[in-house]
Amino acid sequence: MAGKTSQSEGASRTVSDVLHNETFRAILAQVILVGAVVLAAWYLVSNTLDNLAARQISTGFGYLTKNAGFEISDKFISVSAANSYGRALLAGLVNTLVVSLISIVLASLFGTIVGISRLSKNWLVAKLALTYVEGVRNIPLLLQLIFWWKVITAIAPQPRDALQILPEVFFSNRGLNFPLMSPDPVWGWVWLGLLVGIIGAVFIWRWANKVQARTGKRPGSIPLYLASIIGVPVLVWLVGGAPTGVDAPVLGRFSLTGGGSVSTALLAMIVGLTFYTSTFIAEIVRSGIQAVSHGQTEAGDALGLSRRQVLRLVVLPQALRVIIPPMTSQYLNITKNSSLGVAIGYQEIASITNTTLNQTGQAIEAIALMMVVYLSVSLTLSLLMNWYNHQIKLVER
């Protein structure tokens, strides 16, 4: 009898209780949302295809394998007019990554210096840093890029009067020209040697940690690391017969040829992105350091740690935690802002995408592809930074 009652109660519960169940409702809402999104996407895609077909505009990604037929000025992978649009776009992506990476490194270094200068006790240094930050970050980046581009093209000397800033390194309105070592198979091994040297330095560092833990004395100072990083490749170079052939830039009929070169547009991009972003990074670094309370420094001082030890062991590890998340978004900004290269003729992914969509007329595919590429690059960068941030997160109660 009792069993029956509970059963009928159970049945009534299944009807109304499930409808009022919080979990069920949450799942239902999500199912409806996903369904709506999928439906809308399907409608948009099919309607687009219909319209494109009706207007006799070609569709699909077949154009990627077609011959591109245009040249790219700055290239870090081999690409020419004889390659496909796909290859050209890849070269554009590499150009985006190159300019972003260089700017990220330079902006981080310079921004850190400016950020620390903002906290300087020297009045002049602090005010200079403040003026720099407020001045540069309040001018739109596009203007700055055009400014630097104009400065370099208009003020820098002609190739025949190029400024020699270092031996065999020339600066002209065509950009930078610098010597490269003549191709020789030994150089491949030397690079490998450098890699081995760096790995060696890491091992020396870990060994030093172990020795310090055991004896208290930390062996191995800077010369030891340098010996590994520089010594190994130099040794490889010597063993390989020490080739010394240099491919230096020489003045040809039109401009400097031979060696390596960086174009005006790339130069302007690096300078513009670095200066602009460094101001934001400076503020992040400043607030990160200020976020570590003065009590931390005092505690370190009171324990007898040296100034450098306090900075390295106490302040920086804590400041980094505050700095990393906003730094991530600055790095993402650099990557996205590199698309402004379009304006000054730096052929990064957005610029190549533009040319491609103009030559093939396939605007939707080209733009979609570019968005996917930017999204992938940004998400990868975010993931890396989030992972790093997670590694160093503070444990709280």
Among 125, 128, 235, 364, binds another protein (CB under 8 A): 364
271: left (phi over 0), alpha (psi -120 to 50) or beta: alpha
| Minimum CB distance to another protein, residue 357 (Å) | 6
Burial class (CB in 10 A: 0-12, 13-18, 19+), 80: middle
Question: Does residue 45 bind another protein (CB under 8 A)?
Answer: yes
Question: Does residue 303 bind another protein (CB under 8 A)?
Answer: yes
Burial class (CB in 10 A: 0-12, 13-18, 19+), 305: middle
Q: Which amino acid is at 120?
A: S
Q: Locate 61 and state its tokens.
A: 């990604």
Whether 127 and 218 have beta carbons less than 8 Å apart is answered as no
| Minimum CB distance to another protein, residue 68 (Å) | 9
DSSP 63: G
Question: Does residue 358 bind another protein (CB under 8 A)?
Answer: yes
Of 71 and 134, the one with the shorter C-beta distance to another protein is 71
Question: Does residue 20 bind another protein (CB under 8 A)?
Answer: no
Among 95, 112, 264, 277, binds another protein (CB under 8 A): 264
Of 137 and 336, the one with the shorter C-beta distance to another protein is 336
Question: Does residue 345 bind another protein (CB under 8 A)?
Answer: yes
| Minimum CB distance to another protein, residue 71 (Å) | 5
Q: Which of residues 67-106 bind another protein (CB under 8 A)?
A: 69-73, 81-82
Among 287, 360, 378, 389, binds another protein (CB under 8 A): 360
Q: Which of residues 313-332 bind another protein (CB under 8 A)?
A: 313-314, 317-318, 321
Q: State the sign of the Cα–Cα–Cα–Cα dihedral 288, 291, 294, 298.
A: negative
Q: Which of residues 221-260 bind another protein (CB under 8 A)?
A: 252-255, 257
Among 167, 216, 241, 245, binds another protein (CB under 8 A): 216
Question: Does residue 38 bind another protein (CB under 8 A)?
Answer: no
CA–CA dist 260, 258 (Å, integer) = 7
| Minimum CB distance to another protein, residue 275 (Å) | 21
Q: Which residue has the tokens 């340098």?
A: 226
| Minimum CB distance to another protein, residue 156 (Å) | 9
Of 73 and 290, the one with the shorter C-beta distance to another protein is 73
Question: Does residue 35 bind another protein (CB under 8 A)?
Answer: no
Question: Does residue 367 bind another protein (CB under 8 A)?
Answer: yes
Among 87, 118, 174, 286, binds another protein (CB under 8 A): 174
Burial readout 25-51 (b: 16 or more C-beta within 10 A, e: otherwise): eeeeeeeeeeeeeeeeeeeeeeeeeee
Closest listed residue to residue 347, CA positions, set 264, 262, 265: 265
Q: Which residue has the tokens 């800077």?
A: 222
> What is the CB neighbour count within 10 angstroms for residue 166?
9
CA–CA dist 166, 248 (Å, integer) = 12
Question: Does residue 213 bind another protein (CB under 8 A)?
Answer: yes
